[in-house]
Amino acid sequence: MQKPIITTIAFDADDTLWRNEDVFLSTQQTFVQMLEPYHSREYILERLNEVQIENLSNFGYGIKGFTLSMIETAIVLTEGRITGYEIHEIIQLAKQMLAAPIELLPGVEALLKSLKGKCQLMVITKGDLLDQEGKLARSELSDYFDWYEVVSNKNTPTYQKLFESLQVEPSELLMIGNSMRSDILPVMEAGAHALHVPYHTTWSHEQVSEAELAQYPDISAVSSAEQVEDWIRKHFTLIGEVDS
């Protein structure tokens, strides 16, 4: 049986190409320590997570929205007793996050180097445009990609509109990412292929239930970027190798 042809491979960025959630977790730990005189660690984390999710429709994803959620949580949990100096400390934490060095995940650059020229390569990521563009620049991976798209959310309509605007046939596109909710399920709903490469930690908002996963029995996964190319060659033919 002839393998399907892939013309485009799209990658998620955060926690697929480079480490990202660890930066949030480290900042979150410092934030919790700041508020522990007022509440338990568990309660602070629970409330911060609730505020983040509540604020997504207002501030979107990314460091800026996370920072505003930390400030709001601090004001609420201290009943307004948080000082201006402490709020300034939260803002400084955000600036440190924005300037954090980029740590590529193992095997990522070798994978991109091998795939370059064999199909179109792109990044589809969500979050703040300035932050995401800055991370791509610091990663030194930009030359591998033909397109770089930052979207406000990753759902099925977003992918459908993106594929249409780029004139990419969904059946000829493979999306690679770490988030089931953002990178895998909506891509499959949009008619494209998807490969799950889990990261060691995932924000609870990005996780999906067993019931949701049960609706997609054919999800493919590998454990690292180093296994991606072998998986691709087993299941697909890359457009640049059709005549080779």
CA distance 168 to 154: 17
The whole-number pLDDT of residue 243 equals 62
DSSP state of 180: I
CATH number for 57: 1.10.150.240
Average pLDDT of span 57-74: 95
76 and 11 within one domain = no
- In this structure, the answer to whether residues 89 and 115 fall within a common structural domain is no
Reported confidence tier of residue 204, pLDDT bands at 50, 70, 90: confident
Q: Indicate if 61 and 12 belong to the same structural domain.
A: no
Residues 10-25 have a mean pLDDT of 96
State how many domains the chain has.
2
Percent of the chain with pLDDT over 90: 87
Last residue of a domain, one of 68, 98, 128: 98
At residue 244, the pLDDT reads 52
pLDDT classification of 241: cutoffs 50, 70, 90: confident
Same domain membership, residue 209 and residue 160: yes
Residue 156 domain boundaries:
5-18+103-241
Residues 184 and 222 in one domain: yes
Check whether residue 116 and residue 189 sit in a common domain.
Answer: yes
- Tell me: do 121 and 39 sit in the same domain: no
Taking a C-beta distance cutoff of 8 angstroms, is the pair 47, 73 a contact? yes
Q: pLDDT value at position 214?
A: 78
- At 239 the pLDDT is 94
73 and 182 housed in the same domain: no
Strand, helix or coil for residue 108 = helix
**pTM attached to this predicted model:** 0.92
Residues 229 and 211 in one domain: yes
